[in-house]
Amino acid sequence: MTAPTTAPHRTAAPTWVPACASHRLQPERGVAVLLPGGAQAALFRTHDGALYALDNTDPFTGAAVLSRGIVGDRAGEPTVASPMLKHRFALRTGASLDDPGVRLAAYPVLEDGGRVFVGAEPL
């Protein structure tokens, strides 16, 4: 199967990186996805089935650990807390909820044909 080359919210065709089979991505658990150029994304499925991907590197420690973070929410905003220092980030935008000056890159995510794909370039 070939991954789709476009997503409805983007005007340029992103490069899609195969991440995993859909059934392997468990709700509230993350997985690390290696992107072209050596970057990593942390990919999550929330309890309602929504998919999100953020930069996997914790900006406060430099460790590539966000895929091991604690998924939750703050006032209805889906979040992930870094397993290192417990800083929280909005899964939709990558914005830090603890330090307004910090933001992670957010990546497009697509589920198609029983597979999950992450865009190689941030939104």
pLDDT at 3: 45
Give a yes or no: residue 10 inside a domain. Answer: no
pLDDT at 41: 98
Burial of 32 (0-12, 13-18, 19+ CB in 10 A): middle
Give a yes or no: residue 7 inside a domain. Answer: no
Which residues of the chain are under the pLDDT cut of 70? 1-12
Length of the chain measured in residues: 123
Q: DSSP labels for 71-123?
A: EEEETTEEEEE-TTT--EEETTT-BBSS-TT-B--EE-EEEETTEEEEESS--
Distance between CA 30 and CA 72 in Å, rounded? 12
Q: Residue 21 belongs to a domain with what CATH number? A: 2.102.10.10
pLDDT at 14: 79
Residue ranges making up the domain that contains 115: 16-119
pLDDT at 6: 42
Give a yes or no: residue 65 inside a domain. Answer: yes
Q: How many folded domains does the chain comprise?
A: 1
Q: What global pTM score does this model have? A: 0.88
In contact, 20 and 119? CB cutoff 8 Å? no
